[in-house]
Amino acid sequence: MNNKRTSCRFSSHSRRRGQPVERDWRQHHNQGVWREVQEERRQESVPRGVCLSMCPIRELQDREAQNLLHRFEVLSGTERERWPRADPSGVVKEYARPAAGKDSTRPSDLRPPAVLLKTVFYLVDNIAASPTLRPWTEVYDFVFDRLRSVRQDMIIQRVSGADCVAVLERTVRFLIYASYRLCGEPLRLYDPRINDTHLQESLSWLLECYTSGKHPNQEEFQALSLLYNLGSSRAIQHTMELPERIRSSPVMHLALSVSRAFMERNPVRLLRLAHRLDFLQSCALHRHLETCRRDLLLIYSHGHSSKNCRFPLHKLAHILALDVPLTNQLCQAHGVEVHGDSVVFSKTSFTEPEAGKLQCAHFHDLVDRKQRDLTVGSIIHGCT
């Protein structure tokens, strides 16, 4: 009797448990189908560009008619005419802010990924790396705007994959190089804050792309991100979450050592490590060099504070990675006395320099000497 009851209970209980499992499976299956349908609809709703030139024909004609062509886009021989004509092979779609009532998703106005990459190569090889186009502040302004337009087309079309990575890698290299080359230029010609904003956005997008799989240049850009963002807890946290194979690579090991020296406020070690960085890595680091050198002078002003202590000027110049005249200038700007070939440190005399007294471009020797015969094109394409 008990066995029958037990058998009935198990049988009945088994059926009751089986029913919700059946419902759960069906619900899960239906949700999966629903997600697939939604993804298909989303893909169908994403506009696909069909413009096979660097600039849509309508924009080219409009800007030509309104005399809004950039001088880099004008057909040779028509520059002095009242209405210069457009060079179809040199006009590049400019960035346009989203506006109410303006449709920015027309396929005829959007360039597919392959054309976007071709456009980037043109901007790098024919404009940024051109030995004849000057001044470089104008070159930068043109390339910056047209690269922004490229990224806008990619966002609208939700471009991903190898072409997206190739575009973003060259964009990041260009913006890092520009942050170094144009440092100290008047604000009306170059705004470092705007450059930084777009560099951080492009870098963040690129690092997100790297999460989709292995990419040959990932270590390079993970290191550049860390060097450019020294002292950032977010950058350090991101680095610590990277796979071991990336963190243990030589380029990342060096970047992590520089980051550690910066966080420990060890400017002597940081400047020593900086000599081992390549040119673009040094460009990423250079915006932190002023702080690093200032910290070193402050530490030495306390550690060697004595009227009878004389520190060799040439030795300090070597530690700071500067020549002797610039070291002298840097010391004077911080209230550190220089007597002949010796430096006299005092913790009471150290001062912060007046705004604008130190011209950043004058203190670039640590970076300058690494460029050597590297061309702008090879730097941006990563062929170093």
Q: Does residue 340 share a domain with residue 199?
A: no
Please name the helix (run of DSSP H) or strand (run of DSSP E) that holds residue 61, with its range, or none: helix 57-65
Q: Where are the alpha helices (DSSP H) in 67-161?
A: 113-122, 136-157
pLDDT for residue 166: 98
Q: Is residue 308 part of a domain?
A: yes
Do residues 341 and 360 lie in contact, with contact meaning Cβ atoms separated by under 8 Å?
Answer: no
Which residues is 206 bridged to in the sheet? none
Residue of 51, 216, 227, 240 whose CA lies nearest to 149: 51
Q: Is residue 12 part of a domain?
A: no
DSSP E strand stretches across the chain = 311-312, 337-339, 342-344
Distance separating alpha carbons of residues 35 and 39, to the nearest angstrom: 6
Residue of 292, 361, 297, 372 whose CA lies nearest to 330: 297
Find the Cα–Cα–Cα–Cα dihedral 374, 377, 379, 380, rounded to 10°: 170
Q: Does residue 330 share a domain with residue 198?
A: no
pLDDT for residue 215: 95
Do residues 286 and 367 lie in contact, with contact meaning Cβ atoms separated by under 8 Å?
Answer: yes
Q: Is residue 380 part of a domain?
A: no
Q: Does residue 180 share a domain with residue 63?
A: yes
Which residues is 267 bridged to in the sheet? none
Q: Does residue 192 share a domain with residue 333?
A: no
Q: Does residue 190 share a domain with residue 300?
A: no
Q: Does residue 302 share a domain with residue 211?
A: no
pLDDT for residue 3: 47
Backbone angles phi, psi at 200, to 5 degrees: -65, -40
Q: Does residue 182 share a domain with residue 52?
A: yes
Considering its fold, how many domains does the chain have in total? 2
Q: Give me the residues of the chain with pLDDT under 70, please.
A: 1-44, 100-101, 356-357, 359-362
Distance separating alpha carbons of residues 154 and 104, to the nearest angstrom: 12
pLDDT for residue 13: 42
Integer CA distances (angstroms), 95 to 59, 72, 142, 280, 294, in order: 11, 16, 10, 27, 40
Distance separating alpha carbons of residues 384 and 94, to the nearest angstrom: 30
Distance separating alpha carbons of residues 41 and 39, to the nearest angstrom: 5
Which pair of structure tokens corresponds to residue 261? 């020296």
Do residues 127 and 133 lie in contact, with contact meaning Cβ atoms separated by under 8 Å?
Answer: yes
Do residues 167 and 150 lie in contact, with contact meaning Cβ atoms separated by under 8 Å?
Answer: yes
Q: Is residue 230 part of a domain?
A: no
DSSP state of 56: -
Q: Is residue 100 part of a domain?
A: no
Residue of 225, 354, 345, 244 whose CA lies nearest to 285: 225
pLDDT for residue 306: 83
Q: Is residue 237 part of a domain?
A: no
Among residues 193, 215, 237, which one ends one of the domains? Answer: 215
Q: Is residue 245 part of a domain?
A: no
Q: Is residue 130 part of a domain?
A: yes
Q: Does residue 175 share a domain with residue 65?
A: yes
Single-letter amino acid, residue 235? A
DSSP state of 339: E
Q: Does residue 185 share a domain with residue 310?
A: no
Q: Does residue 68 share a domain with residue 173?
A: yes
pLDDT for residue 99: 72
Q: Does residue 309 share a domain with residue 191?
A: no
Read off the pTM. 0.86
Do residues 218 and 246 lie in contact, with contact meaning Cβ atoms separated by under 8 Å?
Answer: yes
Do residues 81 and 151 lie in contact, with contact meaning Cβ atoms separated by under 8 Å?
Answer: no
Residue of 176, 175, 242, 253 whose CA lies nearest to 214: 242
Whether residue 135 has a cis bond before it, omega within 30° of 0 = yes
Residue 151: exposed, middle, or buried by beta-carbon count in 10 A (0-12, 13-18, 19+)?
Answer: buried
pLDDT for residue 9: 39
DSSP 169-181: HHHHHHHHHHHHH
Residue of 214, 196, 203, 137 whose CA lies nearest to 170: 203
Do residues 183 and 283 lie in contact, with contact meaning Cβ atoms separated by under 8 Å?
Answer: no
- For residue 296, give its domain range: 289-366
Q: Does residue 301 share a domain with residue 208?
A: no
Distance separating alpha carbons of residues 205 and 183, to the nearest angstrom: 25
In the sheet where 342-344 sits, what is the strand order? 311-312, 342-344, 337-339
